[in-house]
Amino acid sequence: MTRESYINAGLTFLLVLVPFWAWSTGQAYILTLCTKVAILALAGVGLNIALGLGGLVSFGHAAFFGIGGYAMGILASHAQTFDPIMDWPILIEGTKSMPVIWLVAVVASSLAALLIGALSLRTSGVYFIMITLAFGQMLYYFTIGWPAYGGEDGLSIYVRNSFPGLNTLVPVQFLILSYVVLGLALLFSARLARAPFGLALTAARQNADRVETVGIAPYRLRLVAFVISGSITGLAGALFADLNRFISPTMFSWHTSGEIMIFVILGGVGRLYGPVAGAALFILLEHLLGGVSEYWKIFLGALLLAVVLFARGGLIGTLAGREVAHG
Amino acid sequence: MTFLLFAEQMLNGLQFGIMLFLMAAGLTLVFGVMGLINLAHGSLYMIGAFAAAAVAGATGSFVLALIASLAAAAAAGALIELTVIRRLYKRDHLDQVLATFALILILSEGTRWVFGSFPLYLDVPSYLSGPVTLPGGIQYPLYRLAIIVAGLVVAGGLFALIARTRIGIQIRAGEADREMIAALGIDISRLYTLVFALGAALAGLAGALVGAIQSVQVGMGEPVLILAFVVIVIGGIGSIKGALVGALLVGMTDTMGGVLLPRFFALFLDPSAATTVGASLGSMLIYILMAVVLIMRPSGLYGSA
């Protein structure tokens, strides 16, 4: 085992221990915080596939996070009022069932990622950063101006959606559900990185010309990676909306894109557990410093600056030593 | 739609475009010369507006307020460049995006800490308030007309600075070949600080000028920053001419789209639906414009790469 896998094991242990302790002492608030870590980490796992493996600096992942959230909001609000989403040409009703909502969130965000990716990947470098940012903002302004689902004020869903066999209103059950989804995404992400597709994607990040020379089109690799990345972040958006039982255009704002990126960077770009470590650190800081000062984002900014300037591998990179898999 | 209303909206679009140019000029200069993508540019806009509001509140003089906005933003820009930004020139764009995003968090929350969360107000001076009648019977606020003129003068000055002066030659040479101008004995790090401070001063001036129309508050720089990015991406990153064309294009599209689209949809939709669809599409219009430009020309209208 490498030092990184020991760190990952330690993190997993901590992430299980803390909620177990909170559950046994009846601290529902801590359970909610842990759920939030898992869901935000999931969004980061999605971005990490594009950013860490593919080297695609997407500053617009809030678009997919928001689409996932709005998929949940639209389906659940129609189910809440028993008002079908459309009745022509086919009848589509709202639903409160999480598996269906997740499926819709994943499909909708993949389609969006396919469209945004197909256009954005024609550019590279700063232009790619900017065009992804612009697509995110486009959806942000669209949802602000779209009154059907709350417009600028957002929309509340009164009862959390249901999952067969579980009572999702019990914090610990929703927590376990989120952990399982995160675990599956991590497993998928680890397998993806070692699969031929992941290796080709990594190679395309390091030297696109050589990959092209051996007969693989980097554009298609990147597009597929972008779609997978967007769909996982979209799923996280649906879960996040369910955690808060609220959706609003803020989910689409560029601050959300920046924060998802912060999770990945604080933890370590391209590291399997990077987003998990980053999201945990972010929530920990928000919780600890937020209690000390309402201006806690000054400290977050200073920390982020320090990580970028001096500790370039993020938390895991600093602890695990030199970069192993990613150059 | 009457001619008068149309003309007035054209002027609004022009005014918006000119202000966007002041923001975009600094961004595109910094990118062209130093290869740096600076998200914190919107914070310098905010600092300029706050400095102007504070000085205007203390002295009552609008001219002093404008001078303060230039000085404060330039000083803040130079300070940021010396402490943080110069470590980022050799880094990749991801590091630059993150570090300058961190600067936004620090500067925004720092400003909130000093000035509080409530907006400040910067009053239009009495000699620039009220409407003025233009040829053709167009009534237009004098202050907005003044900022169009001021913006055009500054833009002209900037073009003259870059085309005619020694500093301008160094800036253009820096864009073309960094090593070479360092080898010719020009203090490149001093040039970088200067360019950064110049861009910051322009952003600060824009913040102060716009601050008198809108309120001065934390976060005011962010929507403008993103629009300025759209501008330089459309114009081609690094090109001042592209920034001017892009700024006018974005300013006009945004203003005219917001006015014309609801009227266009009213032709075949009922009024409330037309307003809704028109307004949401209007706010998306510049991003659609940007996507179209990038698909046609992946490095912008005047981009070189």
The answer as to whether B226 is a domain residue is: yes
The separation between CA B263 and the C-alpha centre of its own chain, rounded to angstroms, equals 29
CA torsion through residues B207, B210, B211, B212, sign: positive
Task: Indicate whether B234 belongs to any domain.
Answer: yes
Contact B97 A298 (CB under 8 A): no
β partners of residue B216: B120
Residue B5 has pLDDT above 50, yes or no: yes
Option in A127, A297, A305 nearest B233 (CB): A127
B177: contact with A, CB 8 A cutoff:
no
Kindly state whether B105 is in contact with chain A, defined as any CB-CB distance less than 8 angstroms: yes
Q: Name which of B144, B199, B127, B143 is nearest B17 in CA terms.
A: B144
pLDDT digits (tens, 9 = 90+) for B213-224: 888 999 898 889
CB B82 within 8 A of CB B193: yes
Q: Tell me, what's the pLDDT at A31? A: 92
Mean pLDDT of chain B: 89
Residue B2 lies in a domain: no
How many contacts, defined by CB atoms under 8 Å, are there between A and B?
123
Look at residue A303 and tell me whether its pLDDT is greater than 60.
yes
Q: How far apart are CA A207 and CA A266, in angstroms?
A: 26
Integer Cα distance of B72 and B285 in angstroms: 34
Query: Closest partner residue to B105 among A138, A301, A308, by Cβ?
Result: A301
The answer to whether B94 faces chain A, any CB pair under 8 Å, is yes
Residues 271-300 on B with a CB inside 8 Å of A are 276, 279-280, 282-284, 287-288, 290-291, 294-295, 298-300
pLDDT exceeds 80 at position B233:
yes
With respect to residue B127, please indicate whether it lies within any of the assigned structural domains. no
What's the CA gap between B299 and B214, in Å, rounded? Answer: 33
Q: Is B231 on the interface with A (CB under 8 A)?
A: no
Contacts of A326 in chain B (CB under 8 A): none
Question: Over the stretch A106-138, which tens digit does the pLDDT of each residue have?
Answer: 999 999 999 999 989 988 888 899 889 888 988
ipTM summary value: 0.84
Cβ contacts of A127 on chain B, cutoff 8 Å: 233, 237, 294, 298-300
Say how far apart CA A237 and CA B275 lie, in whole Å.
29
* pLDDT tens-digit series, residues A165-192: 888 888 889 999 999 999 999 999 999 9
Q: What is the pLDDT of residue B1?
A: 63
Res. A327: pLDDT tops 50 = no
Alpha helices in chain A (DSSP H): 3-24, 28-48, 62-81, 98-120, 126-144, 171-194, 196-206, 208-213, 218-244, 254-267, 274-292, 297-310, 314-320
Contact B13, B258 (CB under 8 A): no
Interchain pair B276, A147: CB under 8 A: yes
Q: Give residue-wise pLDDT tens across range B103-143.
A: 999 999 999 999 988 888 888 888 888 888 888 778 889 99
Radius of gyration for the alpha carbons in chain A, expressed in angstroms and rounded: 19
Give the tokens for residue B37.
């993508």
Q: What domains are there in chain A, each with its CATH number?
A: 3-7+31-319 (1.10.3470)
Q: Is A70 in contact with A143 (CB distance < 8 Å)?
A: yes
| Angle, vertex CA A197, rays to CA A196 and CA A200, nearest 5 | 85
Mean pLDDT of chain A: 89
Interface residue ranges in chain A relative to chain B, Cβ cutoff 8 Å: 51, 57, 59, 119, 122-123, 125-127, 129-131, 133-135, 137-138, 141-142, 144-147, 254, 258, 261-262, 265, 269, 295-298, 300-302, 304-305, 308-309, 312
Note whether residue B129 is domain-resident: no
Query: Hey, what are B264's tokens?
Result: 């266009």
Whether residue B130 is contained in a domain is answered as no
Query: φ and ψ at B269, to 5 degrees?
Result: -120, 165
Least Cα separation, residue B155 to chain A (angstroms) = 24
In this predicted structure, which of A109-113, B160-164, B249-253 has the lowest mean pLDDT?
Answer: B160-164
Task: Please state, in angstroms and rounded to a whole number, the distance separating the CA atoms of residues B230 and A126.
Answer: 12
What is the domain extent for residue B244?
13-120+140-296
Half-sphere exposure of B221 (CA within 13 A, CB side): 32
User: Is residue B27, in this structure, part of any structural domain at all?
Assistant: yes
Q: Is residue B8 part of a domain?
A: no
Are B290 and A131 a contacting pair at CB < 8 A?
yes
Residue A308 has pLDDT above 90, yes or no: no
Task: Count the helices and strands in chain A (H runs, E runs).
Answer: 13, 2
Give me the number of domains chain B comprises: 1
Instruction: Please list every residue in chain A whose beta carbon sits closer than 8 Å to the beta carbon of residue B283.
Output: 141-142, 144-145
- The domain that holds B85 is classified in CATH as 1.10.3470
pLDDT band at A1 (very low <50, low <70, confident <90, very high): low
Q: pLDDT, tens digit, for every residue of B36-62?
A: 889 999 999 999 999 999 999 999 899
Residue of A nearest to B234 (CA): A127
Q: Where are the alpha helices (DSSP H) in B84-220?
A: 93-115, 142-164, 166-176, 178-183, 188-211
Question: Does A297 contact B109 at a Cβ distance shorter than 8 Å?
Answer: yes
Q: pLDDT tens, A27-53?
A: 888 999 999 999 999 999 999 999 999
Give which of A305, A307, A312 to mutate to test B binding, by max B Cβ within 10 Å. A305
CA distance B305 to B219: 33
Residue type, B5: L
pLDDT of residue A325: 46
